[in-house]
Each structure stands twice: as C-alpha cells, then as structure tokens.
Amino acid sequence: MTTLSGNLLGRRAGTSAARRPEASDPPVEPVLSVRDVRVTDRATGREIVHGVSFDLTPGRAVGIVGESGSGKTLTCRAALGILPAHFEISGGLIEIEGTDISTLTPARWTALRGATVSAVFQDPASYLNPSVRVGAQIAEVVRVKQGLSRRTARHRAVELLRAVHLRDPELVYGQYTHELSGGMLQRVLIAAAIAAEPRVLIADEATTALDVTVQAEILDLLADLRERSGLALVVVSHDLAVVAQLCDEVLVMRGGEVVERGPTRSVLHDPRHDYTRLLVDEHESYGLDKFLAPETSVRPKAPGTPEHPKHPEYSKPPKETP
Ligand SMILES: Nc1ncnc2c1ncn2[C@@H]1O[C@H](COP(=O)(O)OP(=O)(O)OP(=O)(O)O)[C@@H](O)[C@H]1O
C-alpha cells in the first residue's frame, strides 16, 4: 500500500471499524440509512423506485445489482441529493449520520459531499473540468475540504494519484483530461472521491471501464480503505464478482423493486428469486466459475495472478460431476 493509503488507513485506526465488533459493543449508528425510499418522475407522474431500504454502518459494504433501468443509479443519486431535474424522493427517509437529508440546506450539502458522502459514477470526463489540470482539481478538493495549504494539498493529490495506481503521478498531476485515457480518468475521479476521506463512498459502476488488472487494484484499494479506515461502500455493479469481492450484503433490483436481498454469500450461492438465479447463471456462463473455485489467497497482487482477487464469501464448492 502507498504512503497515502497508509495515511488514510491510519486515520480511523482504533474506531469500531478497525477491529472485529464484539457482542458487548454498543450498537453502531449507520452513516447512511435508506428507508423505503421511493423516487418519482414528476414529468410523467411515474414512480420509478418503489421502496428501497438499507443501512450502512462504518466499514460495511452494500452491493446493488440488477437489470439496466431498474433504479440503481436513481437510488444512489437520491442519497446524494443529486436527482436529475424533475425527479423527486416521493416517499421514505434518507439519513446521513442521523440527519434527515430533506432538512439539509444547500450549504450543508456542499459541506457533506466529498467529506462525508462521496461518489464515483461512470463517464468520468463529465465530472472533471477540461480546462484545469487534473491534479489541481484533486488538490482543490483536499484544500477546501480539509483546510490544507496549497503545497500540502498538492503533495496529497500526488499521493492520491499514486494510490489509485496511476504510473508517474507527478506527470499525471499536470495533465488535462484530453491527455488521459478513459481508464486513467476514472482513476483520477476515484482519487478525487476519496481525497477528503469520506465516510461513505458510492461507487456506481466505478470500475466497469477499467481493464481487469487495474480494476483488481482499485477494488483492493477500496477493500483496504474499508477494512482499515472504516469507509462504508455502496457498490452498484453489473459484475457480480465485484460485488462478491467487496460487499457484505447485496440488494437485487428489478423494475424499481428490490426482489431479493441478504448476505452476499447466501444470495449469490443460493439465490431464491428467479431473476437472481438468472443473473448468477449468466455470470457463470461467461466465466464466473473461476471466481467460485476454492481459493487459497484472498488478495492476489503479484503479476500473473488471477484478474479479480477472489472473495472468501464467494467461493462455492465445485459442482459435483455425475
Ligand atoms: N435523467 C433522466 N431522465 C429521464 N429518465 C431517467 C433519467 N435518469 C434515469 N431515468 C430513468 O429512470 C429509470 C431508472 O434509471 P437508473 O439510471 O436508476 O437505472 P439503473 O438501474 O442505474 O440502470 P443502469 O444499470 O443502466 O445504469 C430508467 O427507466 C431510466 O430511463
């Protein structure tokens, strides 16, 4: 792990996320609580998301999977207070650190975003300013959110670029978006999202555009942040292997509804709903089997190791041959 990760990871050492919880521990308050949330398109009067609920405590990770258009992104955007125009939360409750988000002023939202709740979506270019060097954009987040000097903020921005496995981070710091590939931009965006050390990171198809090796490195970084600094994750992905690696709990959405939910292990090993079964079967048919094989190492990192680090939760016994 890099210096930056060391800094980030050490930040909350000693908190509940840094050690295994014990039965005698007081209950941990969710950092993000989503209760029966409904999202409606005001333009058509159609309810698109029909009641999604989950609680996220520090160091935990919830995965959301499901068909295209099932409302995964709208659910995430609702939690970030950035629903597209003419969409509204028409029911339920969302709390961030115990505060009902419907009571937040624009100024409070500005303070919360990045510092408490952060997000990475697909299409990184649309979230970065093409006329400002990418490193300076990250340094600005660090400077504003953490009150660091320009010099220290620059140093941290370079560390962040290194932490997301960009080669030659000093060089990348000074580049513009048009000089970088899609995969590099996605990593810049991830660096910006974790720059202010948020408590919750919403990763909506955040690693989908990356090649498998880089994806594995980023998933590893997120897993480490989660484990050691208590970062809580919401992971939206079409890739069940990604969810299996990162998430404790998974929600399966279809047509705006949660059709199945539960611990990742049981949902993916023993799906109850036909749709979940279909999803798992589809993954297996294009090669998920390799992630289901018994494993010896949770996080292979050396060159030549499998593309995705495997997750112990997702190691299914090999199918019996007749
Ligand atoms: N900005 C928007 N304007 C109009 N309709 C939208 C907008 N954003 C989402 N929708 C509609 O709301 C529904 C849910 O979209 P959402 O993006 O949440 O789905 P999703 O599950 O994240 O899909 P995907 O996996 O393809 O990203 C879809 O029918 C979509 O067409």
pLDDT tens for 238-291 read 889 899 999 999 999 999 999 999 999 999 989 999 999 999 988 775 555 544
Residue 318 has pLDDT above 70, yes or no: no
Residue 177, ligand 1, Cβ within 6 A: no
Which domain CATH number covers 64? 3.40.50.300
The answer to whether residue 28 is domain-embedded is yes
Based on the structure, what is the number of domains in the chain?
A: 1
Does residue 167 belong to any structural domain of this protein?
no
Q: Would 188 be classed as within a structural domain?
A: no
What's the rounded Cα separation, in Å, for the pair 165 and 189? 12
Q: How far, in Å, from the CA of 96 to the mean position of ligand 1?
A: 23
Residues 85, 42 contacting (CB under 8 angstroms): no
Res 302: pLDDT: 35
Percentage, residues of the chain above pLDDT 70: 81
Q: What is the pLDDT of residues 69-123, one digit of tens each?
A: 999 999 999 999 999 999 999 999 999 999 999 999 999 999 999 899 999 988 8
**Does ipTM exceed 0.90?**
yes
Q: Is 173 part of a structural domain of the chain?
A: no
Evaluate whether residue 30 is within a structural domain: yes
Cα angle 305, 307, 309 (rounded to 5 degrees) comes to 80
Q: How confident is the model at residue 5 (pLDDT cuts 50, 70, 90)?
A: very low
Q: What is the whole-number distance in angstroms between the Cα of residue 252 and the centre of ligand 1?
A: 16
- How far is residue 120 from each of residues 46, 73, 158, 236, measured CA to CA in Å? 27, 11, 19, 10
pLDDT score at 87 = 97
Q: Is residue 135 part of a domain?
A: no
3 state SS of 14: coil
Query: Does 319 fall in a domain?
Result: no
Q: Is the per-residue pLDDT at 310 higher than 50? A: no
Domain span at residue 69 reads: 3-116+198-314
| Residue 82 beta carbon below 6 angstroms from any ligand 1 atom | no
Say if residues 74 and 83 touch (Cβ distance below 8 Å).
yes
Predicted pLDDT of residue 192:
93
- Within-domain flag for 227: yes
Decide if 161 contacts 172 (C-beta within 8 A): yes
CA dist 64 and 127 (Å) reads 22
DSSP 179: G
Which atom from ligand 1 is nearest to the alpha carbon of 74?
18
Write the DSSP string, 60-104: -EEEEEESTTSSHHHHHHHHHT-PPTTEEEEEEEEEETTEEGGG-
* pTM summary value: 0.82
Q: How far away, in angstroms, is 256 Cα from ligand 1 center?
A: 10
Supply the pLDDT for residue 305: 34
Q: What are the tens digits of pLDDT across the range 8-59?
A: 333 333 333 445 566 677 778 999 999 999 999 999 999 999 999 999 999 9
